[in-house]
């Protein structure tokens, strides 16, 4: 089946794939060719894609996935492959969010910091997939920061 991953600034991926595991708001969803049509809302998490020859992992943020039997379109606020992730930036975002969570009392500010923290942790997790250590193997993707 065809997969397109589209973000506001680019076409992150376009190609033929064998399976997709995507982080929907109600849990990870596996998609194989011929899947019944559906639209799912995506949350921050790890997107795993198998092609005939390889497995790709991407950090995704909120978005939507539209599934039809031979094509899947993922529209996400952000999507990065491990090599695209700036680890220092994610660490800085994580530190910033943690500091706000430790000091602020404002509901809206705290909610925003919680969301930033989730995204930063997710990026750090996906960035690790490429270092060959096998750490964080996503065969059973783990949800991050969800209550
Ligand atoms: P920051 O607080 O570091 O700006 P953010 O979580 O607010 O991060 P997003 O709003 O999720 O950033 O994404 C904005 C854009 O920046 C997207 O294109 C996303 O792919 C990119 N981006 C954010 N953080 C990173 C990172 N650590 N490495 C690479 N690209 C990133």
- Expressed in percent and rounded to 5, the helix, strand and coil fractions of the chain are 30, 35, 35
For tokens 């949800």, what's the residue? 143
Residues of the chain with pLDDT > 70: what percent? 87
pLDDT score recorded for residue 144: 44
Q: What is the pLDDT of residue 14?
A: 97
List pLDDT tens digits, range 18-75. 999 999 999 999 999 999 999 999 999 999 999 999 999 999 999 999 999 999 999 9
Q: Read off the pTM.
A: 0.88
The residues pairing with 79 across neighbouring beta strands, listed in sequence order, are 60
Put residue 99 in one of left, alpha, beta given phi > 0 → left and psi -120 to 50 → alpha.
alpha
Q: Which residues line ligand 1 (CB under 6 A)?
A: 9, 61, 78, 80, 84-86, 89-90, 93, 116, 119, 123
In tens, the pLDDT along 106-125 reads: 999 999 999 999 999 999 99
Q: To the nearest whole number, what is the mean pLDDT of the chain?
A: 90
Q: Among 91, 92, 93, 112, say which to mutate for ligand 1: greatest number of ligand atoms within 8 Å of CB.
A: 93
Residues in a beta bridge with 11: 6
CB–CB of 126/56 below 8 Å? no
Give the pLDDT band of residue 98 (cuts 50, 70, 90).
very high
Domains of the chain (ranges; CATH) run 2-80 (2.60.15.10), 85-131 (1.20.5.440)
Nearest CA to ligand 1 atom 4: 93
Distance 58 CA to ligand 1 centre (A): 13
């Amino acid at each position: 089946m065809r997969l397109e991953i589209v973000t506001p600034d680019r076409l992150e991926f376009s190609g033929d794939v064998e399976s997709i595991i995507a982080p929907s708001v109600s849990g990870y969803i596996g998609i194989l060719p011929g899947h019944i049509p559906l639209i799912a809302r995506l949350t921050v998490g790890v997107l795993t894609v198998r092609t005939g020859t390889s497995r790709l992992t991407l950090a995704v943020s909120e978005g939507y996935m539209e599934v039809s039997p031979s094509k899947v379109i993922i529209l996400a606020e952000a999507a990065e492959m491990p090599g695209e992730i700036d680890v220092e930036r994610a660490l800085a975002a994580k530190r910033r969010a943690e500091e706000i969570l430790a000091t602020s009392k404002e509901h809206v500010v705290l909610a925003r910091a919680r969301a930033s923290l989730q995204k930063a942790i997710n990026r750090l997790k996906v960035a690790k997939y490429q270092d060959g250590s096998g750490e964080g193997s996503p065969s059973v993707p783990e949800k991050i920061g969800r209550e």
